[in-house]
Each structure stands twice: as C-alpha cells, then as structure tokens.
Structure 1
Amino acid sequence: MSLFDLTVRNVKRNFRLYSIYLFSMVIGVIIQFTFSSLMYNGDIMDALQNRDNFRMGVAIASVVVFVFIIFFILYANSFFMRQRKKEFGMYLLYGLSERQITMMVFYETLILSAISLVTGVLLGGILSKLFGMLLLRLMQYEQVISLSFPLQSILSTAGLFLLLAVIISVQSYIMVNRVQLMELFHAKQKSERPVRISAVLALLSVLLLVLSFAVISSGKGSVFWKDYATWSLIGVTVGIIGGTYLFFRQFAGWLLQRISRSRKYHEGNTVLWTSALRFQIRGNTLNLTFISLFSAAIMMLMCFMTINYKVQFDAVGRNLPNDIAYQSLDQQTNTMIDGMIRDSEHDILFHFTQEGLEVTPVTDMHAIVENPEYYTSDVLLVPEHSYNELIAQRGDGEQVELQGNEAVGLAQGSDFPRVYEPGTMPDFTVRGPEQTVFKLAEIKDYAYLGWASDPVRSMLYKPAVLVISDEAYSRLAAEGTAVRKSYEIYGLSNARNAEALSREIHAIVTQTPDAYYSSFADVYSKQIESSSLMLFSSGFLALIAIFALASIIYFKQLREATDERLQYSILRKIGIDGRQIQSVIRKQLLFVFLPPLLLGVAYSWFIIKYYILDSVAGYSGLTGMTWGIMGVYFLIYLLLYLSSTNLYYKIVSENP
C-alpha cells in the first residue's frame, strides 16, 4: 500500500476529526477569497470616488487577513496533530520514518486544501457579491454588484494554501520528530495536577483588577493621564493582564476550594463539576486569560470602528460646515466662480459674503484652542451679527449674545468646551496693530469657516476664529488698522457629490497665494469611503477572530471531553443518569465560559466608555449602539456555549 493510499484510508476512517479541520480550512478560503475579490470587482471600483486609496486600504487589510488565517490554520493543525499522536506512534512502530509520515501529512493537506479551495471559492464568490453590496451600502452608494470570480483572487488564495501546505508539513515534521515513541502512546494518559492555591494571590488578583478599573474610569482628564500617562498605561496593562491571569489561576481555584469546604458540597452534583474544574485550572489558565483579553480586543475593535463610522457622517459636516467657502478675490473672479456654481447641477441654497478682521494674537493660542499647530497663526475677528446670520441659515442653534469686549473662541474638535461665568472670564489679547483685550465668555466646539481643504490632500489647516460683539468690531473696523478680509460662503444642493465642481473652483482660487478655500465635497467621499472600508475590514477581522476564538474553545473542549470519556463511563455504571451528566457538564462549562465573557465585556466597556464615548458625547445613539455590539457578541458566545455542552455530552456518552 502506497503512502497516498494510506492517506485516503486515514481520511475515510477518521472523517469526524478531519471534518473539523476541513471546516476550518474552508472558512479560511472563504474569508481570504471574499475579501481579496473586492479589490478586483469592477462594479465596486466604478462606484468609488477614491479608487487608489481603496486599493491601498484593501491591500493592507488583505495582508492582515492573510497573516491571521495562517496563524489560525496552524493552530487548528497543531490541535489536529496532537489528537493523532497515538496514530503516528503506531506508524513509527511499524517501520515508517518521520519523513514518510511528513509526506503522508503533506498529501493529506493537499487533498484537504484542494477540497477547501474549490468549496471556499464557490461559496466565497457568492458571499463576495453580498459583502460587496454591504460595503457600498455603508458608503451610501447604490451601485449594483454582479457575481464574479476574479482570477487574481483565485490565484492568490490558491497560493496562500499551497504555502500553508508547505508550512503545515514542516510543523508536522517538527512535532513528530520532537517526541519519543513511548510518549506518543501515552500522550492522552497524562493527567493534570491541581494548582497550589494562595489566598494572598487570589486577593492580589482582585486588587489588581479593581485598581485597573479605577484608573481607567478616572477618565483622560484625570491627573493619572495628564501628568503620568506612561506610568498609568503601564500600570493598567500590567494590572489587567496580571490580574486576569491570577484571577483564573488563583482566585478561581480559591473559589472552588471554598465551595468544596461548604456544608452543601456533597449535595446534588456539586462534587462532580467542581472536582473536575480543580484539576483543569492549570491547563485552562492561559486559555481563559487569552479568551478574556481577546474578547475585549474584538469588542473594542468593533465598537471603535462602528463609532468612528457613525461619527464621520456628522464629523465631516462639523469640520467643514460650508459646502463651498473661499477668500473673496477680485470682482471679476468672484463673478466667474458664481457663474460656474449657478451653471452646475448643484442649486445654490444660500450665498453670503462676510467680512472679518485679521489680527495677531498676543496671548498664547492654547487659551482658545487645544492644538494650535492645526490653526493659522493669525486670528480672524468675526462680528456677532455676521456669525449669527450664517448660523441661523445652518439651523445649528449656536448663536451668541455678546456685549462690550466679550468674545467667543471657536475650537471645533475640542474635547473640553467651556463656558466662563462673569468675573472668571480670562483675558485674550490681540494686536492689530494696536493691542485689544477681550474677555473670553465661552470656548465652543464649533466651526465658522472650517478646515481649509484640497481635492487631493483633504484637510490642511483651520482658520482661528474669535467671535466678538458688534460694538467691539465696529470700533476696531473704524480705526482702520486691522487687515480686512471677506469670504464667499455657499450652501449647495447635493453637496456631497460636488467633487468635480470643487476641483474647478479650487484651481481658480489657489492661483492667489495663501488664499483660503474649503469644500465639504473634498473631504466627504474620502472620509466616508475610508471609514466604511475600516469598518468593513474590522468586521472581517472580527469575524476571523471570533471564529478562531470559537475554535480554540471548541478544540479545547473536544480534547477534554475525549480524555474524560472513561470517567463519565464510570459515572454511568454507578447510576448517574444522562440528565445528571448533562447538568454536570453545563455547570462545568459555565464556569469556563462565563468569567472570560464578563471580564472581556467589563474591559471593553470601561475603555470605550471613558476614552471614546465621553469624547463624542455630542453624538446621539452611540451608547446604545455599543451595547448592541456587545449584545451580539454575548449572543454568539451563548450559542457557542450551548454548542460546546452538546458536543461535550455527545463525546462523553460514547464508549471509551
């Protein structure tokens, strides 16, 4: 019998074990092909405004997906090989060499890869159409997506799994070559030893977690993060990782020990499920720690990307509140630009010509903005009535009422807007060329002109704006010492699709050096397409991560259930019925599933709440959306728990 014939017989004889491995490989092919095919789908590329950015984004994400799939398949193969140690021991006993066993594994991998490649490409082609429609829906495009199987995607996916076949063969050779023959035969007879429990270490685990949560919940405005950010980050990281590890290593063992000393320990089936867990703590600690941290990472990734996507729609409008705005030029050029806009397909909803005074700040710019490097070095003084006129047209409800030398600083994107009470208003001094002192009544998270933009480079810089009272403005304008600047501000219909118009106007305005120009359309498509791609890519990564996490749990329970069939067989012989065994399994696995889930949810919620949601408090619906994502993850985890309990019971019900 040839090695190839032996390979085929192995696959037929151990179909259930092979089917789990095959399923993992099929999922890997589907994910890789589905994601890579998006880059070569002509319908998607036709719909996009920024094709080069999309290709680059997909290429980068494809590499991450590629690496993730390799590690996932290698983990599945590692489990697969450990389950077959006894089988390999028999082959060695019958005279096969390590090289021949490796060739047999290589043949198996080629067969499974071929099956998974054909199946995965067929299913991936169907799913690529669905996911392509979803991606364009996120971008708010209505393009129809056709079913396609790009040759480039097929070749790249086939190349990936050919590379995996070689890597798996090397991994298998190392695993077979490193163990002794007797170890192979007794691989499944090794038993875990209970961990020595320390009440001090159990208390330390709780203390580390509590301190970590306390520092996180203090918020980024606290002294921990303002003055000791590096040390706080190190402390929280060590506290979470170390606390989680000790929680499962010591606190869980201490809790099981306390249960074993209770009066009702011998009632019901408590003895059965707690004793099994005490012997599994050593082997489960790293897995449960990894699952807790990995779960938190998955939820934080999805929450952050979803919040970023939702915020972008409003954020572009807040960053660039004017559909088109530019510094007024000569009369002839202004008239020409106005004609271009009127001749375009975008109706003019409103048009204002507004004036301001350009002055030099004497007071440090940090008094009115948080990041002065993003702003112009000069400050534009805008009269109260002009500002309110434009704001009324926008309907934002951000009007101001000022008297004397009162002023309002506009710091769009500020995390800490402020309102000052009379008597506490700080001074802000400007020179134009005479010095004038204003009293800051408020710092608003709002923009009057918005970012200067470019059709290619998007956002460039922000004009620093100070809204002052009409009385103060009239006085400074009458003096005639400050530089006057006027701006043309347009509101357009369907402004999000005005890229072509914006490029034409931008080319004219920028012929005047340092002239201000801003267009909503310059940024909208780039921001929405990029945030949609980031959300879509993170969703793919989360999908792979959840599947990998499920596989880790699934493979772990499969191995433990296989090892414990003899014990459960003895329980059945002494009169424990199937319903009681199911109850024992449910309680035992609940103790394994629930703590990592709760810790993962707690970590992700605290970080998302105090460092993301609090920064975007002005956007509605984000908290509910965050809990919705965590709820979906909880549901997936619940289904995984129920599936694992059923699998566990099915395996232990078989004769050992």
Structure 2
Amino acid sequence: MQNKIFLKNARYWAKDYAIYLLTIVFSISLIYSFNLLVFSEDIQRLSNGMNVLTGVIIFLSFAIVWVLGWLIHYMAKFMMKKRSREFGMYMLLGVPNKTIASLFAGEQALIGSVGFLLSLVIGSLLYQVLAMMVICFFGASYHLKLAFSWEAFGLTLLYTVCMYGSAILRLRSYLKNAEIHELLYLDREGEEEVRQERKGSLLAFFFYLFLGICGCFVFVYSVYLEGEVPYSGEYSGWYFLGSMAVILLCIYKIYTHMTYFLTRTVLSKGDFKYGKDRLFLLRGLTAKLNTIGKTLGILALLLTITLTAMQMGVLFEKFFQAQADNIISFDVAMSGNKEKIEEQQLEEKLEQRLQKQYGITFGHSYPIYQNPDDTLYTYTGLDGYLEFTPVMAYGDFQLLWKALGYEELSLGKQEYLLLTSEKIQERSRREEVPALEIQGETYQLKELSSRPFSTGSGLHGTGFLVVLPDEAAETFPVYHTCYVFETKKEIPANEGMELSQWLSENGAYDVSGDYRKNAVDEFMVASDTRASQNSVFVTFAFSLFYVGLIFACCAAAILAVQQLSDGVSYKHRYEILSYLGADEGKMQGLVLKQMIFYFFIPVAIPIPVSIFLASQINQVLLADLITVKAFCMAIAISIGLFFLVYFIYFLATYLGYRKRVLE
C-alpha cells in the first residue's frame, strides 16, 4: 500500500511541477555535457590552453551546484508545504513521522534518479552541439560520434547526490520531528513574517536605494582609480569588490521592501489605482510580493549575475576575435637583432624548413624604427610596453599590405599612415589625431586604418604603428628587424611550439634567460596564436554562458512554479469578475497583464544594473579593443538570448495559469 502511494504521489507531483523538473533535468544535462567537454580528448588536442577549461568548469560547477541545491531544497520545501495537510492527516491516522518522512524523501529521490538518467541522454546530445561549436570555432572538422566519460559521469553523479541529498536530509529531519497541528497549518504560513511597520519599511526601501546609487558611484570611481591618484592602485581592487557587494546587497534589500513602496505610493493614490484594471493587478501583485519578498530578492541577485555573465560572454567573444586579428596577420613572423640572426643564419634556416614542409608564397625582412616621440602613445591611451612610436617605411609597408590582399593606401611627402584598432579609429572621429614633428617638419595624418596588421603583438608595436615615407623613417634608429612568411599549406595549430624549440636549439634564445642576449625577441605562428586565443575565449565565454544559462533557468522556474501553484487559489477571483460581467476575452487579457507584471518586476532592476556592471568591467578589461558599437551589439545579443529563455518560461506559465483559473 505504501509503495502504491509512493509511486502515485511521485507521478502526480512530477506532472504538477513539470516546469521545475524540466529545469532540473536541463540543468543537470548541461552540467554533464560540459563535463564531457572538458574531459574529451578531441577537445584537449585542439590547443594546449584547453586544459585550463577543465579547472574553470569544475570550479564554476561548485557555484552552480550550490544554486541548484538551493533551488531543489526550496522547491521540495514548497511541495511539502502544499502537502502539509496531507501529511497531517496521515499522522492523525496513526502513521509514524518516520514513515511519512521516508515516504516524502523516497518521492524526491525517485524524481531525482529519473531526472539524472534522463540528463545522461539529453546531456550526451547537448555535448554534440557544444563540441561542434568548439571544434568549428577552431577551424577543424567535426565528426559526430558517441561520447562517454567515466570522469564526467562520476562528477555529475556526485553533484546530483549532493544537491538532492542535502535537500532530502534537511526536510526528512524536519518531518521526523514535526507535530500534527504544525503540519495542518503550515500551508497558511507566509515565506517570511513581516514585523516591521510600513513607515519603517518604506524608509528602508529608500535607504537601500540611496545606498545602491552611492555604491554605483564608488564602483565607477574604483574603475578609474588605478593610476589616477598616487599610491591608490593597491586599494582600487577593494573599492571595486566592496562597491559590487554593496550594489548586490541593495538589490536584494530593495526587492524585500518593494511591497511597502508600492502600497504607500502607487496604491495610496485613489484616482490612479481605480483606473482601468490597476487595482486588481497591483493588489494581487503586492499580496504575492509580500509573501515571497526574500525569494524575489535572491532571484533578483541571480538575474543580475546571469545578465552580467551573458553580456561579458559576448564581449569576450568580440574582444578575443579582435585581439587575434591584431596579434598576427602573417602565417609565420619573427623579429629580433638583425646582426645576431644573420650571424646564426636563422632566417635562412627557418626559410629552408618552411619551404620544405609547407612551401613559401611570400617572404620579406624589414626594420621597425624607433621614434622617441610619445605623442601618439599618449593620444591612443594604450598601456603597452613600447612607450615610443614604432615606425615602418612606406616601401616595406606597400609590399606587406599587398601580400595581405588589402587595397593600396597612398602616402604623400609630409603625411603619415596610422594603423591601429577600431577603438582608436572610433575615437579619431571625435578627436583630431595629432600631427608628428620630424626633423623640424610637420607630418599630418593621411589615413587611419584598423585592418589587421600585427599591431598588437610587439612585432609592429603594441597597439599602433606609424608608416612614414622611406627617407623620413630611415632617420630613426632601428628597434628590431622583422621577418614574415606566407605559406602554401596551412601550418598545424601546435607546430609553433616545435618551431620555437627548434629556434632555441639553434641558439635563438639564451639559456640564461637574459632577454638582451637573445637573437629573437618575437616568434609567432598564426595558427598557433589563433588556437591559443580561441582556447582563452572558449574558457571565458563558454564558462560565463554556462553559469548564466543555468541561473536564468533557475530563476524563471521558481517564478513559473510560484504562479502556477497559485492558479487554483486565484480562480475564485476570476469567478467573481465573471459574475460582475467580465467576458472571457477580458479575463484572458487580465491574466496576460498579471503575468507580464509578475515576470517584469524581477528583471526591472537587474537589467540596467547588469548593463552598468558590464560597461564598467569592459572599461577595466576590454576597453582597448571594444568599440561603442561592438559593446551595444554585445549587450543587445546577450539580453536577447536571455529573454528568449525567459520568454519560454513566461509563455508556459501564462498558458498553464490561464488554463487553471479560467476553466
């Protein structure tokens, strides 16, 4: 008999809370697919930097497991409250507390076990999508094949046991010690008891609002503090972290006191609240917020972190793509001391090896000159280690520019070309680029180009390069000599390590580590550099989307279950409206407005705050390469992706709620 009740209840509650259970299945599936990704030999072979992804994903999984564990405990407790009278009746009939606790724990364990098994299947399919995205991003060919990893399986099982085990043990302990009257009236208790006076709560709302605004100002100040005030750099990090903690705390507190703000402002104005459907909608909203204020505050924190993480994920994709283009534009590039390179015949040996293995379509050696004037270094605001102006002769530039397939750029006698990033090009439209004074003559800017030209690696500078007429460039001392090659065949991604080792064996690097004794100071292979950049992008961007997607689903699932569970109790309100003459179309419109209000409130503050946080973090980490246009596009893409997930939950909740209250 007990087993029949056990299975019947498990099936019933699994159906009644389908959105929550599907969220758990999807979340565990995503965890399993990422575990498969980090333990995949095919993925690890793409680049030496991919081994970092393993540690990052495992580290982030602890935070994800904590959030999912909170979600599972919250929903299990929510289910227990809804069934508290049922459990109280069992106790009245003489069923021991231990049996009731074991019954509920068994139901949760069964649901968790079925969800875990489904996650293995769905996670394997998700892995195929993730693996295809990563491999194609590296430019390699993808082949569909069955994937399984004992390490991934074991980690996912451990996470699932921890999430469900902690929730089951806590609620099982509660039920074993619960009394009959406590269970019979448990469903009438609010999530939190409100003991504060409305006046005090309203003051608290404005206090935390003011404190949050102050935190935003301190956050902005911390971004620009580094290097602006003497000896302040050591404190800027603490200002940064402290102000972010204050902002997040204030978001939580604002939502816990939002009910009092609405009741004392919006609902206190008679003329406004009685217009249209406002009284019905706002009164229902405030009643709901009054009972889930604490939960709503936690959800607002999750949504803020989610939106910020997704925005930074898109920004990292744009940043690393721009950085890869600026680091190296040729298949193979080398720079260093010309005399030492010629003495050791490194150029000739390297050319012979490349010709033999891959074939050479273009090769050229040329000097980069050093102009001590730092006018453009100051103008660009770049924090590179070359504080002078790197210069290239126009004759060499023409050969290299043509080899890359770009349209020809002309240059007059007293003119110069500036090659730099899109960020500086965007700035040049607002601020005039300064002229250069060379040998008593003034050189004006002819054209500024952001086409990839190895200006971000040290080969042609660390952010910008100036092209001058040959006679003007040759008046400066040589900084180093560059050697670039284009090959017929594509060089494999990890060949750069072998070529670097070969150069070291040929005396290019001094074993003592003295940089000044080295013949070569820069050596890069394009495929190797791009693979390294791609591995960093995959680590950062995929990890941020991993966190963001699961957090978004958790928050939306709780909102959906909260509304759907109230469907039966709210049904009588719509019955009263029908008695008052409201037709079905009118009530469907009210349900839609109610859902819009309910789903909009939790993201009303997190959206602007997340954009603010992302913009400031962008200033610290990515400002050199991310333009305003690229930033706006990244924000639009990330928020669009978030709302795509959010809308799915909204639509499912609206349809389910409408069915419950109107039928």
TM range (shorter): 0.7 to 0.9
Residues 193-218 of structure 1: CA distance to partner in whole angstroms, max 9, x if unpaired? Answer: 89836877777777677777888899
1:133 Cα deviation (Å)? 1.8
TM alignment of 1:464-475, pairs within 5 A = 470-471=470-471, 474-475=474-475
Residue 516 in structure 1 maps to residue 521 in structure 2: yes
Partner of 1:275: 283
Q: Is the 8 A contact 1:324 1:491 kept in 2?
A: no
Partner of 2:262: 252
Residue 334 in structure 1 maps to residue 347 in structure 2: yes
Change in Cα spacing, 1:566 to 1:185, as seen in structure 2 (3 Å) is farther
Residue 311 in structure 1 maps to residue 323 in structure 2: no
Partner of 2:656: 647
TM alignment of 1:150-299, pairs within 5 A = 150-176=149-175, 180-190=179-189, 196=198, 238=246, 242=250, 245-246=253-254, 248-258=258-268, 261-262=270-271, 265=274, 269-299=277-307
Q: Is the 8 A contact 1:318 1:412 kept in 2?
A: no
Partner of 2:514: none
Cα distance in 2 for residues equivalent to 1:365 and 1:270: 59
Amino acid at match of 1:117: F
Residues 6-33 of structure 1: CA distance to partner in whole angstroms, max 9, x if unpaired? Answer: 4234335655346556434433432232
Partner of 2:127: 128
Cα distance in 2 for residues equivalent to 1:586 and 1:635: 18
Q: Is the 8 A contact 2:88 2:183 kept in 1?
A: yes
Count of residue pairs the alignment pairs up = 625
Cα distance in 1 for residues equivalent to 2:114 and 2:227: 53
TM alignment of 1:14-33, pairs within 5 A = 14=13, 16-17=15-16, 19=18, 22-33=21-32
TM value normalised by structure 1: 0.77
Residue 105 in structure 1 maps to residue 104 in structure 2: yes
Amino acid at match of 1:340: R
Structure with larger RCO (C-alpha < 8 A, sep 6+): 2
Residues 387-431 of structure 1: CA distance to partner in whole angstroms, max 9, x if unpaired? Answer: 634663444888877859x99898999899779979x87999xxx
Q: Is the 8 A contact 1:376 1:462 kept in 2?
A: yes
Amino acid at match of 2:70: F
Partner of 2:93: 94
Q: Is the 8 A contact 2:219 2:243 kept in 1?
A: no
Residue 532 in structure 1 maps to residue 538 in structure 2: yes
Residue 627 in structure 1 maps to residue 639 in structure 2: no
Amino acid at match of 2:499: E
Q: Is the 8 A contact 1:61 1:537 kept in 2?
A: yes
Q: Is the 8 A contact 2:87 2:183 kept in 1?
A: yes
Residue 7 in structure 1 maps to residue 6 in structure 2: yes
Question: Alpha carbon RMSD of aligned pairs, Å?
Answer: 4.8
Residues 238-291 of structure 1: CA distance to partner in whole angstroms, max 9, x if unpaired? Answer: 4675367447344433453155x01771x6544332332333332344444444
Partner of 2:550: 544
Q: Is the 8 A contact 2:46 2:493 kept in 1?
A: no
Q: Is the 8 A contact 1:11 1:18 kept in 2?
A: no
Q: Is the 8 A contact 1:249 1:282 kept in 2?
A: yes
Q: Is the 8 A contact 1:506 1:517 kept in 2?
A: no
1:506 Cα deviation (Å)? 5.0
Change in Cα spacing, 1:74 to 1:383, as seen in structure 2 (3 Å) is same
TM value normalised by structure 2: 0.76
1:338 Cα deviation (Å)? 0.9
Q: Which segment is superposed worse, 224-233 or 53-62? A: 224-233
Change in Cα spacing, 1:210 to 1:275, as seen in structure 2 (3 Å) is same
Q: Structure 1: give runs of 5+ residues left out of the alignment.
A: 429-435, 454-460, 478-482
Q: Which segment is superposed worse, 590-599 or 16-25? A: 16-25
Partner of 1:555: 561
Partner of 1:432: none
Change in Cα spacing, 1:85 to 1:157, as seen in structure 2 (3 Å) is same
Cα distance in 1 for residues equivalent to 2:394 and 2:30: 57
Cα distance in 1 for residues equivalent to 2:57 and 2:241: 31
Cα distance in 1 for residues equivalent to 2:440 and 2:179: 85
Cα distance in 1 for residues equivalent to 2:244 and 2:157: 43
Q: Is the 8 A contact 1:26 1:117 kept in 2?
A: yes
Cα distance in 1 for residues equivalent to 2:443 and 2:73: 62
Amino acid at match of 2:366: Q
SS at match of 1:112: helix
Q: Is the 8 A contact 2:419 2:455 kept in 1?
A: no
SS at match of 2:267: helix
1:623 Cα deviation (Å)? 3.1
Change in Cα spacing, 1:212 to 1:402, as seen in structure 2 (3 Å) is farther
Q: Is the 8 A contact 2:76 2:167 kept in 1?
A: yes
Change in Cα spacing, 1:269 to 1:37, as seen in structure 2 (3 Å) is same
Change in Cα spacing, 1:376 to 1:357, as seen in structure 2 (3 Å) is same
Residues 302-346 of structure 1: CA distance to partner in whole angstroms, max 9, x if unpaired? Answer: 22212212332331121234432232412633211111111122x
1:140 Cα deviation (Å)? 2.9
Amino acid at match of 1:499: N
SS at match of 1:330: helix
Amino acid at match of 1:257: L
Cα distance in 2 for residues equivalent to 1:75 and 1:54: 31
Residues 414-452 of structure 1: CA distance to partner in whole angstroms, max 9, x if unpaired? Answer: 899779979x87999xxxxxxx99999889989766536
Q: Is the 8 A contact 1:450 1:518 kept in 2?
A: no
Q: Structure 2: give runs of 5+ residues left out of the alignment.
A: 511-517
Change in Cα spacing, 1:178 to 1:351, as seen in structure 2 (3 Å) is farther
Residue 348 in structure 1 maps to residue 349 in structure 2: no
Residues 499-519 of structure 1: CA distance to partner in whole angstroms, max 9, x if unpaired? Answer: 325622553257233221221
Cα distance in 2 for residues equivalent to 1:523 and 1:494: 17
Change in Cα spacing, 1:619 to 1:78, as seen in structure 2 (3 Å) is same
Cα distance in 1 for residues equivalent to 2:350 and 2:306: 49
Change in Cα spacing, 1:652 to 1:125, as seen in structure 2 (3 Å) is same
Cα distance in 2 for residues equivalent to 1:103 and 1:87: 15
Amino acid at match of 1:298: T
1:528 Cα deviation (Å)? 0.9
Q: Which segment is superposed worse, 210-219 or 317-326? A: 210-219
Cα distance in 2 for residues equivalent to 1:288 and 1:644: 17
Cα distance in 1 for residues equivalent to 2:431 and 2:19: 65
TM alignment of 1:253-652, pairs within 5 A = 253-258=263-268, 261-262=270-271, 265=274, 269-322=277-330, 323-327=332-336, 328=338, 329-330=341-342, 332-345=345-358, 347-356=359-368, 367=378, 375=385, 382=391, 384-385=393-394, 388-389=397-398, 392-393=401-402, 394=404, 395=406, 450-451=456-457, 470-471=470-471, 474-475=474-475, 485-492=480-487, 497=492, 499-500=494-495, 503-508=498-503, 511-512=507-508, 513=510, 514=518, 515-519=520-524, 520-565=526-571, 567-568=573-574, 578-609=584-615, 612=618, 615-618=624-627, 623-652=632-661
Q: Which segment is superposed worse, 112-121 or 600-609? A: 600-609
Change in Cα spacing, 1:27 to 1:638, as seen in structure 2 (3 Å) is closer
Cα distance in 2 for residues equivalent to 1:148 and 1:600: 38
Q: Is the 8 A contact 1:427 1:437 kept in 2?
A: yes
